[in-house]
Amino acid sequence: MQLPDATALDDELVVWDDAGRLAFERLQNRLARRGAGAARAAEEWPARFIAFDLVRLSGTDTTGWPYRRRRAALESVFARAEFASAPWALCPSTTEADVVRELLTWASVGMEGVVYKRLDGAYEPSVRG
């Protein structure tokens, strides 16, 4: 993947199991391996990169920008890049309540929730409970 120089994303790596569920333990297992074992694990359990937010763009700190502007810039980065397909993905974003309700049904694949961001809000690092 090639991002513009001095660009940083808020993102996550995920691995899916054979049933199509998120498998955090497989990602942990991959991270614990080295050398040939790491290569075998990467082939057996490919990881996917999911971008959530834009923290820095070409050296510019974007954390003070409203989410609406950061999201538009992030979508623009993905639209221009050759990596805008698997294993790279831009997380879904919506302001539609029906779409959010649909996303919340994805618990069956291991998704634990949704990220809520105010359209006019500055960047806030995620807090996991």
Would you state the pLDDT for residue 69?
A: 97
Using CA atoms, how far residue 35 sits from 28, 31, 38, 47, 48, in Å, is 16, 11, 5, 17, 20
Every domain of the chain and the residues it spans: 8-109
Q: In the prediction, which pLDDT does 58 show?
A: 95
Q: Which pair of structure tokens corresponds to residue 2?
A: 């090639």
Q: What is the pLDDT of residue 55?
A: 96
Please, is 68 exposed, middle or buried when counting C-beta atoms within 10 Å of its C-beta (0-12, 13-18, 19+)? middle
What is the per-residue pLDDT for 110? 63
- Residue 129: what pLDDT? 44
Predicted confidence at residue 127, as pLDDT, reads 57
Q: Give the DSSP H or E segment for 29.
A: helix 24-32
Q: What is the pLDDT along the chain (129 residues), one digit of tens a residue?
A: 578 899 999 988 888 888 877 888 888 888 888 999 888 988 888 888 888 899 999 999 999 999 999 999 999 988 887 655 567 888 888 888 888 888 777 766 666 666 778 889 898 876 554
68 within 8 A of 119, measured Cβ to Cβ: yes
Q: What is the CATH number of domain 8-109?
A: 3.30.470.30
